[in-house]
Amino acid sequence: MFWSKIFLPTLKDSPQDAEVISHQLMLRAGMIRKVTSGIYTWLPLGLRVLKKIENIVREEMDASGAQEVLMPMVQPRELWEETKRWEKMGPELLRFQDRHDRDFCLGPTHEEVITDLVRNNVKSYKELPLNLYQIQTKFRDEIRPRYGVMRGREFLMKDSYSFNIDKDSLNESYLLMKETYKKIIERLGLEYKIVKADSGAIGGDASEEFHVLAENGEDTIAVSDSSEFAINTELLLGEGEDINSLQGKPSPDGTGTIEIRKGIEIGHIFQLGEIYADAMNANVLDHEGKSQTIFMGCYGIGISRLVAAAIEQNNDDKGIIWPEIIAPFEVNIIAIGFGKDKMIAQAAIDIYDKLSSMGYEVILDDRNDGFGTKMKDAELIGIPINIIIGKQYTEKNEIELRHRDGQSSIGMIDDIETIFEYFKKENN
Ligand SMILES: Nc1ncnc2c1ncn2[C@@H]1O[C@H](COP(=O)(O)OP(=O)(O)O)[C@@H](O)[C@H]1O
Ligand SMILES: [Mg+2]
């Protein structure tokens, strides 16, 4: 991809209404643009990151044995009446009518639709356990959409639902999803905590949240300073108590003392038990031929929110510092004087072709701007490796490799493949 062609409108200054760093940087780096409150368009650069995260989630879900489906975004009122959530959900559920005056809503989550699918198509315990997932746009009419895609009204989620014959099997599916979520977040290279949580509107028994630790996190979590223990402070505090009263107290698990951290909830797993299946009559025949209510679990991970969370953890005053695995491009070639100097242009294109044919995702800055502008934009969009080619090349046959983290080295252009791979390894 060439900079002169890609639709990448970067901004020098932070837009006024962007409060947190990820929101500012996503706007400045030309990743997203606001359409209306809590609703965004993803531009090419942002979409590349979103898709990379989506694919990592998909790979790990597939590896866990879960199967991908795609449910509709529009859901009929009747299904929501069965679970009584048509009333319970309140104004977050966006309702509307079709031309026949029938009531519908935009799916904020899919327990009703998936339970309907399974009750109609699964008859025996032999077909369980079953774990179905989708990666899909959700709509929740959030009272306070904010921080860009971090708390949007329309957002991309991976949601999955397990169907089990009993509590033990549900527990196994739950633990498998917990491991899968750990793998996903570890692959993304993010620092996180698994936090005991409130089940909220979804209901059910056990529930844990995955939080990416970040100063701008909306949630306050209490973590032990010497064990894995972490709990959402919502669960520890009574009415009117404030958070300071927790600080330095002994950790509820008996190990260490409490520290208060800020977190961004990026995933949430629940053991729903029988509540949905009971309400919707989702039964199977057990091994004795008796009808048995299905046990369910549900598991969500916020894909668009993960993009913002990754930026909250990986930035400096110049811009984003992408973890290699989700960087929109792996290499940025900064060609200084591309339009004026044929030798530089040709050398830059050669490097571009070589690295592309090695399988790297490369972007070439062929614009007519000077080094300063190009470097500023490069640092803003945060590509891991920059290759700078300019006067030094025409004079001494040298190019510079500069990592977004600050390391740099000079190399001769003739052996770019070897130099590049060596530099990449050194900086990993
Ligand atoms: N408004 C939102 N904007 C972006 N992502 C969201 C939003 N609401 C939820 N998510 C993501 O979807 C995941 C699953 O949502 P869920 O736990 O059902 O929502 P909530 O915690 O708001 O009740 C969350 O962990 C989060 O990553
Ligand atoms: Mg949640």
Number of domains composing the chain? 2
Asked whether 141 lines ligand 1 (CB < 6 A), one says no
User: 257-291, pLDDT tens digit by residue?
Assistant: 999 999 999 999 999 999 999 999 999 999 999 99
User: 125-169, pLDDT tens digit by residue?
Assistant: 999 999 999 999 999 999 999 999 999 999 999 999 999 999 999
Q: How far is the CA of 140 from the centre of ligand 1 (A)?
A: 9
In a shared domain, residues 312 and 333: no
Q: How far is the CA of 267 from the centre of ligand 2 (A)?
A: 7
Q: How far is the CA of 303 from the centre of ligand 1 (A)?
A: 10
CATH number, domain of 333, equals 3.40.50.800
Q: Is the pLDDT at 228 greater than 60, yes or no? A: yes
Closest CA relative to residue 68, chosen from 138, 136, 155, 156: 136
Q: Which two tokens stand for residue 399?
A: 């190019």
Read off the pTM: 0.96
Name the pLDDT band for 239 (thresholds 50, 70, 90).
Answer: confident
Omega into 76 within 30° of 0, i.e. cis?
Answer: no
Asked whether 261 lines ligand 1 (CB < 6 A), one says no
Residue whose CB lies within 8 A of the most ligand 1 atoms, among 265, 298, 312, for a mutation test: 265
User: 52-109, pLDDT tens digit by residue?
Assistant: 999 999 999 999 999 999 999 999 999 999 999 999 999 999 999 999 999 999 999 9
Name the closest ligand to CA 159: 1
Among 287, 316, 345, the domain boundary falls at 316
Which residues touch 312 (CB under 8 Å, ≥6 apart)? 20, 21, 22, 212, 214, 215, 216, 217, 264
* Range list of β-strands (E), 107-247: 130-139, 154-164, 192-196, 207-213, 219-224, 230-232
In a shared domain, residues 233 and 358: no
Asked whether 109 lines ligand 1 (CB < 6 A), one says yes
210-225 average pLDDT score: 94
Q: Which amino acid would we find at residue 385?
A: I
In a shared domain, residues 160 and 236: yes
- Closest ligand 1 atom, residue 145 Cα: 1
Closest CA relative to residue 199, chosen from 264, 295, 275, 132: 275
Q: How far is the CA of 138 from the centre of ligand 1 (A)?
A: 9
Name the closest ligand to CA 155: 1
Q: Whose CA is nearest to atom 7 of ligand 1?
A: 151
> What is the rounded CA–CA span in Å between residue 87 and residue 93?
9
Radius of gyration of the CA atoms of the chain, in A:
25
C-beta separation of 365 from 379 below 8 A: no
Q: Is the pLDDT at 342 greater than 90, yes or no? A: yes
Asked whether 200 lines ligand 1 (CB < 6 A), one says yes
Is residue 8 in some structural domain?
no
Residue whose CB lies within 8 A of the most ligand 1 atoms, among 202, 212, 268, 271, for a mutation test: 268
In a shared domain, residues 245 and 171: yes
Which residues touch 336 (CB under 8 Å, ≥6 apart)? 344, 370, 371, 374, 388, 389, 390, 391
Name the pLDDT band for 418 (thresholds 50, 70, 90).
Answer: confident
C-beta separation of 411 from 399 below 8 A: yes
Name the pLDDT band for 200 (thresholds 50, 70, 90).
Answer: low
In a shared domain, residues 300 and 212: yes
> What is the rounded CA–CA span in Å between residue 400 and residue 387?
6
3-state DSSP call for residue 72?
Answer: coil
404 Ramachandran zone, left/alpha/beta (phi>0; psi -120 to 50)? alpha
- Closest ligand 1 atom, residue 153 Cα: 1
The residue range of the domain holding 375 is 329-426
In a shared domain, residues 79 and 123: yes
